[in-house]
Amino acid sequence: MPPHVVAVSSRRGHHFSKTPALSIRLVAGLGVEGDGHFGAKVKHRSRAMKNPNLPNLRQVHLLQAEFLDTLADSFGPVGPGDLGENVLVRDLDLLALPAGARLRLGASAVVELTGLRNPCVQIDRFRPGMMAACLDRDADGRLVRKSGVMGIVIQSGDVAGGDGVSIELPTGPFRPMEPV
């Protein structure tokens, strides 16, 4: 099946989980309208305390539905928005994409991937032991973060469950995503 949006979520304020919605509005340069991470400057609390003038590279959190399926096998049901993602997709390996890849979500929204979500202790507060399941090691022993990717909104648009997802890869050499 082609890549598609399974669900969308947002929530005002700073909370770990987000509330599923029928649709969300992505606003160029700012993120998800009405979400706690909406804005041009960094909104992540610990990063904002260090330097509130940094650009917001975490406007949109995207996650693979297949990862929630895997977590559910060990931790019970994990629903849309539970891990704080704004956009839950299926049939797209987000972690394999390079930094700078652009995703068209629905008819007009475009998100450029900036990096990996770095899992934090809040995941263990949600479900004890879950943070370890969000981390792995590759064949060379490098840490693999599996809790999704972050992006910035390049083009505004509405996004809803069932919308298609298309990918535009950046030109030049492959740049692996790093935590942002």
pLDDT attached to residue 128: 96
For residue 121 the two structure tokens come to: 């202790």
pLDDT digits (tens, 9 = 90+) for 35-48: 999 999 998 878 77
pLDDT attached to residue 49: 82
For residue 165 the two structure tokens come to: 């997802």
Q: Domains plus CATH for the chain?
A: 4-168 (2.40.33.20)
CA distance 4 to 150: 17
pLDDT attached to residue 9: 98
State mean pLDDT over 162-179: 97
pTM: 0.96
pLDDT digits (tens, 9 = 90+) for 16-34: 999 999 999 999 999 999 9
| Residue 152, number of CB atoms within 10 A of its CB | 22
Question: Any idea which residue has 């992006």 for tokens?
Answer: 151
- Residue 85, SS3 per DSSP: coil
pLDDT digits (tens, 9 = 90+) for 116-158: 999 888 999 999 999 999 999 999 999 999 999 999 999 999 9
